[in-house]
A and B are shown apart, each in its own frame.
Chain A
Amino acid sequence: MPVTEHQGSSSSPSTFSFGRSLLSLRRDHVAMPSGEEADLEAFQRHFAASLGELLPGEVEGGGGGGGGGGGGGGEEILSVAWIRRLLESFILCQEEFRVFVAQARRRGALPAAGEKLVVEFHERAVKALDVCNAARDGVDQVRRWERLADIAASVLLAPGEIHEGQLRRARKALSDLSVLLVDDTAASGSGGVASFLASHRNRSFGRARASPSRASLAGATSSSHFRSLSWSVSRAWSASRQLQAIGAGLAAPRAHEAGLAAPVYAMGCVLHLVAWALVAAVPCPDRSTALQAHHLPAAPARAAFPWAPPLLTLQERLAEEGKRKDRRNSCGLLKEIHVLEKSTQKLTDAIDAAPIPLFGDREADVREAAAELAAVCAAMRDGLEPLERQVREVFHRIVRSRVEGLDSSMHNAD
């Protein structure tokens, strides 16, 4: 790594290997007995622990709206907060893996076959980069929904009476939102909620547009103009195929395969899981195909690795979420998206049912629905930006470890 090391640190070898030696120091203290086995065991233990922490508490914390509730790590599965913890765990696991590999390399216990395994993992991880980018676009898209939904919600929650003007304004925002949702769902390849919303839109908003010609015109322009979704990946890119590529050739090592085989397999599994969860959570191209549960990684035997049980439970929970009736046709399994869709519908219904002027129960219904929508909007505003940053962080970590891999495989070539 002669040229890579550039920060003016002259030629001191200690500076060069600072990262490694620091980590190995720590490691040496923890794992006294025989280097490799102890390391492997520690790695798998940590790995199992961080997956275990992701398992949701079996109590469904009935809190509505946002990601506010929960407290000590008990986030609901597939909520923004939970996805963020999932990504955090991945970053942690990857860091452990890096240490493990560096450790093995330092001991000289990394034969060519081992290096090959590491390279294979990096190749696999690089395939997740496109998933990160797609998820970034997807999160961005969800924020766009949030902005429209928030207009509707905040208009109806403003102090004072609700007049027709406010209702019309809210209705218009909801209508624009439904156009976006329809398009995005179509792009993701599923139909349910979107088609519901589409027909709903025609019913409730067609009525307001008295002149047919005018209405159809306005409808056409507004929908084409709001068709703003554009993925930064190529049109042919498919989340489903990408997930398959990430999972391709991921097979449990046989018992006699020592060394890196097990950690590399563990990393491959968690990588696939994380990519799958991202695709499932937010809108991205060809998402619905990807959700067919059989695209989940081939499961390791439950008893084979300490981390297999929590991983399997996670996979099962995710697959269940995907199969739930009310989520099957959603734009994303992200809990907040689900709430957004639900409360958007609820608010639309409440507005449709509302006579002018509003009073009594009807007004309470509208305000309640608006409050729910406002709550989820607030949760999205708070949560999505950090989520987007974290997706980016995962991207960086994958790139960094790959680049390191490129450098070290270069030195250890032949």
Chain B
Amino acid sequence: MDGSTAAAAELEAAERVVMRWDSTASASYGGGGGGGGGDEQMLFDGGGDRVEAERFLRAVDDLRRLAPPSPATVGSPRRTSSASGGGGAASNAVQVAMARLEDEFRHVLTSRALDLEIEALADLTSLSMCSDRTNSADVAEEAAAAAADEDDSVSSSVGRRSSYRSLRSIREIDLLPADAISDLHAIASRMAAAGYGRECVQVYASVRKPAVDSALRRLGVEKLSIGDVQRLEWEVLEAKIRRWIRAARAAVRGVFASERRLCFLIFHDLPLSSSTITTATHDAPFAEAVKGAALQLFGFAEAISIGRRSPEKLFKIIDLHDAIADLLPDVSDIFAASKAGESIYVQAAEIRSRLADAVRGILSEFENAVLRDPSKTPVPGGTIHPLTRYVMNYSSLISDYKTTLSELIVSRPSACSRIAPEGNENAPSFPDLDLADPDSQLPLAAHLIWIIVVLEHNLESKASLYKDAALSHLFVMNNVHYIAHKIKDSPELRGLIGDEYLKQLTGKFRLAATRYQRTAWLKILNCLRDEGLHVSGGFSSGVSKSALRERFKSFNAAFEEAHRVQSAWYVPDTQLREELRISIAEKLLPAYRSFLGRFRHHIENGRHPELYIKYSVEDLETSVTDFFEGCPPSLHNRRRSHG
């Protein structure tokens, strides 16, 4: 009897403490008690005085310990014999206490939140510089910047304002000070014990969700619908992708990871679920707080992953793919533990694989574009076709992205040549691709060679656009030489394509050079041959003067024509140009010198020799240096200066 009256008194005291803090009627009760003075008075106000708070929590515990089990704690075994009046008062007191605690929980969570140092997380300063820079689609520069990024970001991730540029690994930040977290845990554990876990979770999510949303907004994550993304220019999207990658790292590794830790610290050992909800785990509050933000974050990448596939997108999409692939383990770590969060991991993984598909699709789109490039105007002077430059720059970028691409590109292009023309008669004929040893070669390498084969194929049809066969050979020479040189200049590309194919290319442009010389010079050199000059049956000086004059005249005319025309042709590579001139000179000059030596006296003895012998050997030698300069000839000037 004594014990129970003591308990009743204790219970009553606890109820009194609790009722002083009735949230819904604090004005009427509050004045009386020690703590509840003003309207806004809170128990947990972050100040030094925790006496009242502790007393309140003790009272809540006493209520729980002493009161007949409240029917409100769902799932607890029913006790039938509770005095109804007392039970009602106690359950009312519990409700009052819980409403109070809910307010306190919200108050602490809201008022004690630390300012998230977003700028430090995402290095927003360098980010804005980035977006200012002109978007010249200079992917190489971009790649270099990324590499630099790689270097200096591994460094210290300790200390708040360290010099990292973007997060390489999970970095949990204190979202609230430790004492506030322990208050929250103290409150949450009372609420959970009284069966008010769901209310607690609701409050938690309703406070943290806007906080997460605002953190993402500060990181520059925009709300873009798929339609928005589809409408934007690719250049604009490139800048957004760049920004997104940084923001996503900061969001996942900083914001989400910190949110998960906060949730863990507050809820990890609490029974949150009532019997009716089976799925709630201790990170359910976390999942509810961040799910919307996470879906929105990945929504952008998803929108990119389903966009149209065009070659210029390849490298930014690889960047995006790599960024997500890099984030996936952390996304898994952060989200995959809870059922609510799992869908976020699943979605991120789906996006990654869709981006991988996009990369493959774009590469084959590129191959097709190279094969079909339709431009029908021959470039003047037989110089390097813009397509060749574009394809080779693109190819060397492909080789820069070798690490990712050789993971993603796992089938060889050979299937293409068989399948693509099926049912499509007007497809251009496909070049043959016979690759030496399929097993020893990366599929990516096979694709690169395929791209070059296809390019050569296209160039050959472009070469046939020239009316002058010599120019057509010169065009092939220039372009194939350029291809070979680009390969030689890039160790990555050379490593992938291999010396064997490079040798083939070298042979090909040399052959083109030979063909050019044969086509362009044979007729000219034929003027300098002896055949047909000697009068048949003649005894001593059996040279036909008129024939000789004709020869000199036609040589002069042919050479002048060649000089006039081929000075406008262009060999952009200085070494190749020089070699070609030397090669011409080596054939032309000795032939002319000996022809002159043998026949000049026949002309000089006659009238007006200057009409027939217009050039000295030196004149020719000088003239040859005008060839392939890509500008109008200056023969007359030179002749005068020599004359």
Using a CB–CB cutoff of 8 Å, the interface residues on chain A facing chain B are: 1-11, 13, 16, 105-106, 108, 126-127, 129-130, 133, 136-137, 140, 144, 147-148, 150-151, 154-155, 158-166, 168-169, 172-173, 176, 208-211, 213-215, 217-218, 221, 225-228, 230-235, 237, 242, 245, 357, 381, 392, 396, 399, 402-403, 406-407, 410-414
Contacts and interface: CB of A to CB of B under 8 A. Distances in A.
Contacts of A106: 423
Interface in B22-48: 23-28, 39-40
A142 B446 CA distance: 53
A-side binding surface: helix, strand, loop or mixed? Answer: helix
A168 B99 contact: yes
A158 B75 CA distance: 8
Contact of B420 (A225, A242, A411): A411
Nearest first, the 6 closest Cβ-Cβ pairs linking A and B are: A160-B71, A211-B27, A2-B416, A165-B95, A165-B91, A232-B296
B224 to A, nearest CB: 6
Interface stretch (B245-253, B365-373, B480-488): B365-373
B544 interface: no
B409 A3 contact: yes
19 contacts: A3-B364, A6-B360, A6-B411, A106-B423, A126-B226, A129-B226, A137-B295, A158-B71, A161-B71, A211-B25, A211-B39, A214-B39, A217-B39, A230-B293, A237-B227, A245-B227, A403-B306, A403-B361, A414-B372
Given A168-B92, A208-B24, A413 B202 contact: no
Interface stretch (B140-148, B205-213, B517-525, B569-577): B205-213
Contacts of B96: 165, 168
A164 B98 contact: no
Contacts of B206: 225-226, 228
Nearest to A205: B24
Given A211-B26, A228-B209, A406-B309, A13 B419 contact: yes
A127 B227 contact: yes
Interface in B320-364: 343, 350, 354, 357, 360-361, 363-364
Contact of B98 (A169, A234, A242, A357): A169
Interface string B265-306: 000000000101100000000001001110110010000001
Contacts of A402: 306
B415 A16 contact: yes
Given A3-B363, A5-B411, A218-B103, A232 B295 contact: yes
Among A136, A225, A412, A413, chain B packs the most CB atoms within 10 A around the CB of A225
B391 to A, nearest CB: 16
Contacts of A2: 364, 367, 411, 413, 415-416, 419-420, 447
B426 interface: yes
Contact of B95 (A169, A245, A411): A169
A11 B74 contact: no
Contact of B411 (A3, A147, A151, A412): A3
B222 interface: yes
Contact of B39 (A160, A213, A381): A213
B170 interface: no
Contacts of A245: 227
B412 to A, nearest CB: 7
Nearest to B90: A165
A137 B292 contact: yes
Nearest to A164: B92
Interface in B413-431: 413-416, 418-420, 423-424, 426
Given A165-B96, A209-B24, 8 more contacts: A6-B409, A172-B199, A176-B202, A210-B27, A225-B106, A228-B205, A228-B209, A235-B223
B94 interface: yes
B202 A148 contact: yes
B223 A233 contact: yes
A211 B409 contact: no
B28 A230 contact: no
Contacts of A225: 106, 110, 203, 206-207
A227 B207 CA distance: 9
B410 interface: yes
B93 interface: yes
A230 B424 CA distance: 49
B368 A16 contact: no
B457 interface: no
B306 A126 contact: yes
A215 B354 CA distance: 52
A165 B94 contact: yes
B334 to A, nearest CB: 18
B134 interface: no
Contacts of A173: 199
Contacts of A227: 210
A134 B434 CA distance: 51
B556 interface: no
A234 B93 contact: no
A188 B425 CA distance: 54
Nearest to B308: A406
Nearest to B278: A381
B236 interface: no
Nearest to B418: A13
Given A133-B226, A165-B88, A399 B23 contact: no
Contacts of B276: 150, 154
Contact of B225 (A1, A162, A230, A237): A237
A133 B225 contact: yes
B303 to A, nearest CB: 8
Among B78, B291, B292, chain A packs the most CB atoms within 10 A around the CB of B292
Contacts of A9: 411
Contacts of B103: 218
A169 B223 contact: no
A403 B88 CA distance: 64
Contacts of B531: none
Given A1-B419, A133-B225, A158-B74, A407 B91 contact: no
Contacts of B365: 410
Nearest to A167: B95
Contacts of A150: 198, 276-277
A234 to B, nearest CB: 4
Given A209-B24, A211-B26, A413 B368 contact: yes
B364 A410 contact: yes
Among A158, A234, A392, A414, chain B packs the most CB atoms within 10 A around the CB of A158
B368 A410 contact: yes
